Structure 1
Amino acid sequence: MKTKKLTLAGLLIALGVICATFSIPIGAAKCFPVQHMVNVIAGVLLGPVYSVAVAFCISLIRVLSGTGTLLAFPGSMLGAFLCGMLFKMYPKLSVAYIGEIFGTGVLGALVAFPVATLIMGKEAAMFAYIMPFMISSIVGATISIMILKVLTRTKVWQEWFVCLHHS
């Protein structure tokens, strides 16, 4: 079943990269709610390892193509990890949602500070990224939960979810 997980991961990476032009500048950050939507979907369907890999690949491609900054890495990867890990431990969509928002909006924002100041050479306050990262993650996670709630009512969800989690 690794083929199905890799296929879904590839599709989510493609979605994240294709939608990379849709970003919202909030303060010093370029917020990308599609990344957070993908994080939650990957965290729920693929688990923490694959969701971090998906977030890393999207961030890397965005940075290389000029549609993202180095700040894409800490927020997206921490949010994806916490979302996937919490959902694995407590399989509820609400837990995945909270994991993405806290992982990106708080932890990712705090890690973004040294990335911005030490690596990117930008002046920023310690908590400057919390509000923009939080807004972006709330929007993206909300969209993902709506999508996943619709999917839970379909045969596709049952087949994919059972197949992906019992492999």
Structure 2
Amino acid sequence: MTPFPLKRLTAAGLFVAAALLLSGIHIPLGPTKCFPFQHTVNALAGALLGPWWAAGIAAVTSLLRLFTGTGTLFAFPGSIPGALAAGFAFRWWKKDWAVFAEPLGTGPVGASLAALLLGPAMGRSVGIVSLNLAFLASSLPGATVAFLLLHLLRQNQAFRKMAATL
């Protein structure tokens, strides 16, 4: 039996808190609100904690942003697939550039899910192409920031020791 993952749970809580604190920085595009730092958090969580923890962090953050009125329903398909993609890319390649899988999950996968599921549910016609562009406008800068942060953090001895224990 594995022990309770207290360190991972603590790190996940810190990632959710960081995403919520940084959610004041957003770009309104059509029916969506683009949060570049959510994608930064998704990619970093995927790298440090793995795909399932990153998806959980994205889901909890999306839910809290929806409840506080700072997010929309588009946050769920706009963040969870990207978090999974980043986490699996890190699991497979273990390279910093794997953060750029986050926009692939967010753009084509997340935008398609949003257009197919949320558009009809909201009674609106939402184009896949326009959502794809909006989601990519948010996730590409977020992944770039994550790449730079991850590269800088990996050069820090204390961070490497901490990350090895997660």
TM-score normalised according to structure 1 size: 0.93
Displacement of 1:139: 0.7
Asked whether 1:162 is paired with 2:164, we answer: yes
The equivalences for 1:46-65 within 5 A come to 46-65=49-68
Query: Are residues 1:71 and 2:74 paired?
Result: yes
Matches within 5 A, 1:62-141: 62-95=65-98, 97-141=99-143
Structure 1 moving runs of 4+ over 3 Å: none
Partners of 2:156 and 2:24 in 1: how far apart? 31
After TM superposition, give the deviation of residue 98 of structure 1 in Å.
2.2
Shift of 1:130: 0.5
Deviations along 1:96-119, one digit per CA (max 9) or x if unpaired, are x22101000111111110233222
SS in 1 for 2:28: strand
Is contact 1:70–1:115 with CA below 8 Å preserved after alignment?
Answer: no
Q: TM-score, normalised by structure 2?
A: 0.93
Structure 2 gaps, min length 5: none
**What displacement does 1:127 show?**
2.0
CA distance in 2, matches of 1:144, 1:151: 10
For 1:111, the aligned partner's letter is L
Aligned length: 163
Secondary structure of residue in 1 paired with 2:129: coil
Identity over aligned pairs, percent:
37
Contact 2:115 2:127 in 1 (8 A): yes
Runs of 5+ consecutive residues of structure 1 not aligned to the other structure: none
RMSD: 1.3
In structure 2, the residue matched to 1:28 is: 31
Q: What displacement does 1:121 show?
A: 1.7
Q: Is contact 1:59-1:73 (8 Å) kept?
A: yes
Shift of 1:75: 1.6
Q: Secondary structure at the match of 2:71?
A: coil
